[in-house]
Amino acid sequence: MTATALYGRELAAAIRAETTERAAALTASGRPPKLAVVVATADESSAWYVRSIAKAAGQSGIACDIVDLGPDAAADTIVAALDRLSADGSVHGVMLQTPLPGGAALEELAGAIAFGKDVDGANPLSLGRLAAGLPAHPPATAEAVVALLDHYGVELAGRRVAVVGRSTVVGKPLAHLLLDRNATVTVCHSRTVDLPGVTSTADVVVAAAGRPGLITADHVRPGATVIDVGTNPTPDGGLTGDVDAEAVVHRAAALTPVPGGVGPVTTALLLRHTVRAAADR
Amino acid sequence: MTATALYGRELAAAIRAETTERAAALTASGRPPKLAVVVATADESSAWYVRSIAKAAGQSGIACDIVDLGPDAAADTIVAALDRLSADGSVHGVMLQTPLPGGAALEELAGAIAFGKDVDGANPLSLGRLAAGLPAHPPATAEAVVALLDHYGVELAGRRVAVVGRSTVVGKPLAHLLLDRNATVTVCHSRTVDLPGVTSTADVVVAAAGRPGLITADHVRPGATVIDVGTNPTPDGGLTGDVDAEAVVHRAAALTPVPGGVGPVTTALLLRHTVRAAADR
């Protein structure tokens, strides 16, 4: 058996086509959509990601301001920038890029992003509303996992899904999105005992731990679907996921590549959220 | 084997003793703590619960105003009452009792409870902050489950816990509290396929589905700990849990009684939250 590759490009292209159309309509009506990305790091893979967002935004007709506060920015400075952008009527989406200086937590500072502009679901209010089943922008990465499963017709209702990783930006919001879809959800993490024993009972395994090669063939039931959210930098400047793809590809029925799986969908959804936020104003 | 009964009274008494002391200190300093409970239902078991809160508050030296808006109150009227109480400096805790008229969702209306007074963690902001690991009052019932497990020395780190029920007031916040304690958490619900197959792999089973007798011996691994959050009214005016206690008592190592397990701890924690909210002002 060789797993089907679940590429994200087709779905991303469809989302971006719709988003480009909506962006053009907004611009024509005098409300050109704009995303602001606040950066306070010199991290290279972070810079690569932000450039890819700006490029994709440009291709969709969405302005993208990168507000670079430098890697030594104080928490107060970051919050002040978020406050200013939240109050700026020409800005429709605000995103705070990680990592943050001095080990500041995203969830601490992101409360300063106005709820309506919180297009990457980083404000704890967005997470709480998502958990409560109320309208909110989910974090784009978490939503991309579900969108990709839907695109490839992977059933979720009544299925067992193991989410490996309990971050505030992926694992936790994803658990809520999957519960909304009637999956039975297990959240695993670094302190889980016998991880293969837990994940190998799942129909769908989502790896979102940020540890290269964590998920091996032993972790996967034959025929399961495996979604790799990992984006770990490699020494040669590339990206590798959390899944040992060479081993898992012979066991899973379907597997997302890294890069080219969840990532393109994430960026497309972030831009969709931005035009929605602009339209809702 | 017969399960040990995990009574809540001892823990509840300890929490209430500390709370009574703090309430007396607050009153002595001219800030008598006050809880307001907004009620908009004629439901009898709800009325019983609210009376029990008021009685316990009185015994701890906490004022408790029951604001009864009647079973036909409009959502706007309820929100206006929550706004008024949120702005009232003499009130430190605000709680909205369910059920609500016309099928209104608690999470929709509870956003009107000021975050600092949200002593039962019903505002989606509280849930989001809880999920993000930031300070917030957890829903008292969810916190009571963890407090009772701690009180009886039940280890959580690295253990498998199955939560049956995905409500915004119990199952979902409880999942976050358990993740914070490094448990591997599975959230099950009415759409879970083969519920006994899932729950019988768990070291701890928490039943919070609101379905009498849902959890039978088949759902429980021999030696597991079972926490029954169910409070289902019986025809004779009593309460029964979600667990078939007569069957499970011969299989579990430990089991909470209903009533007398989680319930007393829940009320005690609600009052502790109220004095904390009063002290934080």
Give pLDDT tens digits for A145-201.
999 999 999 999 999 999 999 999 999 999 999 999 999 999 999 999 999 999 999
Is residue B77 pLDDT above 90, yes or no? yes
pLDDT digits (tens, 9 = 90+) for A78-122: 999 999 999 999 999 999 999 999 888 999 999 999 999 999 999
Question: Does B267 fall in a domain?
Answer: no
Residue A165 assigned to a binding site: yes
Contact at 8 Å (CB) between A36 and A91?
Answer: yes
One domain, residues B180 and B254: yes
Q: How many alpha carbons lie under 13 Å from residue A105 in its C-beta half-sphere?
A: 12
User: If pLDDT is split at 50, 70 and 90, which confidence band does A45 have?
Assistant: confident
Question: Does A18 fall in a domain?
Answer: no
One domain, residues B180 and B241: yes
Residues of A with CB under 8 A from a CB of B: 105, 107-108, 123-134, 157-160, 166, 168, 172, 175-176, 179, 182, 184-189, 191-193, 198, 201
ipTM confidence: 0.96
3-class secondary-structure state, position A206: strand
One domain, residues A152 and A108: no
User: Strands B239-240 and B232-233, how do they pair?
Assistant: antiparallel
Question: Does A256 fall in a domain?
Answer: yes
Residue ranges for the known binding site of B for NADP(+) are 165-167, 231
One domain, residues B181 and B91: no
One domain, residues B176 and B65: no
| CA nearest neighbour of A85 among A101, A63, A55 | A63
Q: How far apart are CA A231 and CA A51, in angstroms?
A: 16
pLDDT digits (tens, 9 = 90+) for B133-182: 999 999 999 999 999 999 999 999 999 999 999 999 999 999 999 999 99
* Residue A152 structural domain: 140-262
- Residues in chain B with CB shorter than 8 Å from the CB of A185 are 186-187
Is residue A28 pLDDT above 80, yes or no? yes
CB contact under 8 A, B184 and A184: no
One domain, residues A152 and A72: no
Contact at 8 Å (CB) between B229 and B212?
Answer: no
| CA nearest neighbour of B202 among B181, B227, B177, B180 | B227
One domain, residues B49 and B109: yes
CB contact under 8 A, A158 and B193: yes
Question: Does A191 fall in a domain?
Answer: yes
Residue B68: C-alpha distances to residues A50, B40, B81, B99, B279 (Å): 53, 6, 10, 13, 27
DSSP E strands: which ranges in A192-278? 204-207, 225-228, 232-233, 239-240, 254-255
Is residue B281 pLDDT above 80, yes or no? no
Q: How far apart are CA B238 and CA B231, in angstroms?
A: 9
Question: Does A77 fall in a domain?
Answer: yes
One domain, residues B107 and B186: no
Is residue A1 pLDDT above 80, yes or no? no
Give phi and psi for B29, each to the nearest 5: -90, 15
- Residues in chain B with CB shorter than 8 Å from the CB of A132 are 107, 124, 127, 168, 172
Mean of the pLDDT values across residues B191-198?
A: 98
Question: Does B9 fall in a domain?
Answer: no
What domain count does chain A have? Answer: 2
One domain, residues B162 and B240: yes
User: Strands B4-5 and B34-39, how do they pair?
Assistant: unpaired
Q: Residue A164 is part of a domain; what is its CATH number?
A: 3.40.50.720
pLDDT digits (tens, 9 = 90+) for B215-250: 999 999 999 999 999 999 899 988 999 999 999 999
Tokens of A101: 């200086």
Question: Does A55 fall in a domain?
Answer: yes
One domain, residues A108 and A145: no
Question: Does B280 fall in a domain?
Answer: no
Q: Residue A110 is part of a domain; what is its CATH number?
A: 3.40.50.10860
